[in-house]
Amino acid sequence: MAVDTSQFKNGLRIELDGEPFAITYFQHVKPGKGGAFVRTKVKNIRNGKIIDKTFRAGEKVELADVEDKRMQYLYRDGENLVLMDNQSYEQIPVPAEVVGGALNYLLENAQVDVLFWRGKAVNVDIPSFVEAQVTETEPGMKGDTASGATKLATIETGATLQVPLFINQGEKIRVDTRNGKYVERVN
> Where along the chain do its domains lie?
2-63, 66-125, 129-186
The reported pLDDT for the residue numbered 154 is 92
Query: What pLDDT digit, counting tens, does each position of 9-58 carry?
Result: 999 999 999 999 999 999 999 998 889 999 999 999 888 899 999 999 99
The reported pLDDT for the residue numbered 54 is 94
In 3D, which of 39, 106, 41, 28 has the Cα closest to residue 72?
A: 106
The reported pLDDT for the residue numbered 104 is 87
Give the whole-angstrom CA distance, residue 8 versus residue 60.
Answer: 10
Is the model's pLDDT at 144 over the cut of 80?
A: no
CATH annotation of 2-63: 2.30.30.30
The reported pLDDT for the residue numbered 187 is 79
| Range 148-151, long-range pairs (CB < 8 A, 24+ positions) | 150/182
For the entire predicted model, the pTM comes to 0.76
Give the whole-angstrom CA distance, residue 72 versus residue 94.
Answer: 12
In 3D, which of 54, 4, 7 has the Cα closest to residue 29?
A: 54
Domain 129-186 listed as CATH 1.20.120.430: no
Quickly name the fold that domain 66-125 has: OB fold (Dihydrolipoamide Acetyltransferase, E2P) (2.40.50)
Domains 66-125 and 129-186 share a fold: yes
In 3D, which of 57, 58, 60, 27 has the Cα closest to residue 42?
A: 27
Phi and psi torsions of 81, nearest 5°? -105, 140
